[in-house]
Structure 1
Amino acid sequence: MSDAGEEWQVARRRKGAARKSNLHQVSLNSTRCQEQLDIGKTIKRIRDTLSELRCEEFWQEWKEQLLCAASAAPSEKEDTDTVTDQPGRSRDGRSRQQLECVCYGLGSFSSCVSARYQLAMLMLLLDAGQIPLKDCSVYDPAFSSGERDVLRELGLTVLTENEEGKRLVTKPTLFYLMHCGKALYNNLLWKNWSARCLPLMIIIGNSFSGMRDRTIERELKRDYSYITQAVPVCEETQLPCPSRLIDVFSDTAVITFPASGLNRLPQSTWAEPPEPQYQHCPDLEIIQREAQS
């Protein structure tokens, strides 16, 4: 890393706290620097970072855990009431459907080294999971117009609408949510709160059990009820992180929702889940879309 010393001073941040304290400032900084963003140079830096990560020992474990989770994911046409005995195959023996990918909250990767490492890791995961670049949708309100151009040049699909995480899945989907706020995870769970949709999701992001342990119990139950309910029925595999990248990849897990566990819950669990409102969260760790006038 040629300019590591200076950049790490900018990038260092406590895990989970960055999005809350820097959301608006990052957006302003991105707007100011978009005019002088060198797209070619930025892409080269991303690819150099990707090559660096590919040589890291911990990357192999990330790759193996993604492939393991992907092999167990059902297709959207498969009956999720039963668990198959053949990983990577549906009940009729056919290969499982190709994953799609959604990435929220990446941050300003042209000015923040942590975000650039996270983008490079995303690219590696897409390659490992054989997910076409065009099938990966990315969004962050902090992206400058230059950064959106970089992402399109890389081949990714840049979303134009702030979905606030409220995306309904209809096929196996990898969600890459690095150091995002609890509200975004909670919104995603709410939108897919059914025994049919949850098993279609693979999340690479902050550990749900870690969120539970760091949050006052009554506040988690009141404000983030879907995370609260998901903790006992999801499966988490903690991903390794070298000490020098602790601010980039700490507290990251692969999270899945096996149908076998969901089907043991009472049907009342899924009855008309109310949309989260966050009335008691003045410091909400998410940029919400502007209300329509």
Structure 2
Amino acid sequence: MLLLDLLAVPPDRCSVFDPSFSELEVAALGELGLRLLPENEEGKHRGPGGPTLFYMVHCGKALYNNLLWRNWSPAGPAPTWSSSATALRGIEERVPSRILERDYSYVAKVLKGEVALPAHPRYTTPLTTPLHWFPPHKLERLSAEVWEFLEEPTYQECEDLEIIRKGDEGNGRSPTAAQS
């Protein structure tokens, strides 16, 4: 709510979702005027166009990849991106390149046009939330092949899928990562 205030964004322009929200949390978020997405999109949410901030804290690799896929265009996947310690460069460092290319191809591709904004020197704890920016001039330099492949991610060979799949919300599984 503080971030919305700071950016002068009305709460009803902010969409939120987590498959593990309790009924109490859903009610509280509604009372705050936030727009709750009606179903688990597995991160495949299309931004409204124009400046958009996707605030994704402690999310799995597939959520980032799915969001990038849904918003994939040379005009820019997501103008600004905020994530946690599982930030895009962290994924690149932890995941072998062959698996990154096979299972998380949109993350792999966007890293070529991404700029990680430096963290504030005063706030350098492990919980620092980095901002990632996709400047149009860098995205325009990417080859046409990067933009032509638009296949929806399926994760058939992925052994460590860190999301709650659509339809799995109420089966008692505890999420390994929150979805935002």
TM-score normalised by length of structure 1? 0.52
Which residue of 218, 222, 229 maps to 2:98? 218
Partner of residue 53, structure 2: 174
- The within-5 A match list for 1:123-134 is 123-134=1-12
SS in 1 for 2:130: strand
Cα deviation, residue 208, structure 1? 1.0
- The within-5 A match list for 1:98-109 is none
Cα deviation, residue 133, structure 1? 0.8
Answering whether residue 28 of structure 2 is matched by residue 150 of structure 1, we say yes
Q: How far, CA to CA, are the matches of 1:172 and 1:223 in structure 2?
A: 28
Give the helix-richer structure, 1 or 2: 1
Which residue of 51, 68, 76 maps to 1:189? 68
SS in 2 for 1:220: helix
Contact 2:115 2:132 survives alignment (8 Å): yes
Cα deviation, residue 238, structure 1? 4.1
Which residue of 210, 216, 237 maps to 2:117? 237
Give the aligned CA root-mean-square deviation in angstroms: 1.8
Partner of residue 203, structure 1: 81
Q: How far, CA to CA, are the matches of 2:37 and 2:124 in structure 1?
A: 32
Cα deviation, residue 282, structure 1? 2.8
Cα deviation, residue 197, structure 1? 4.1
Cα deviation, residue 140, structure 1? 0.4
Cα deviation, residue 139, structure 1? 0.4
Partner of residue 142, structure 2: 265
Deviations 1:150-209 (Å, cap 9, x if unpaired)? 1111221111211111122223211000010000000011111111242x5311104211
- The within-5 A match list for 1:20-39 is none
Cα deviation, residue 290, structure 1? 2.2
Cα deviation, residue 239, structure 1? 3.2
Q: Could you list the runs of 4 or more consecutive aligned residues of structure 1 that deviate by over 3 angstroms after TM superposition?
A: 238-243
Q: Which structure is richer in relative contact order (CA contacts within 8 A, separation 6 or more)? A: 2
In structure 1, the gaps of 5 or more residues are 1-122
Q: How far, CA to CA, are the matches of 1:201 and 1:195 in structure 2?
A: 11
Q: Partner letter of residue 50 of structure 2?
A: K
Partner of residue 113, structure 1: none
Deviations 1:113-146 (Å, cap 9, x if unpaired)? xxxxxxxxxx221111111111111100100111
In structure 2, the gaps of 5 or more residues are 169-180
Q: Partner letter of residue 99 of structure 2?
A: E
Contact 2:116 2:132 survives alignment (8 Å): yes
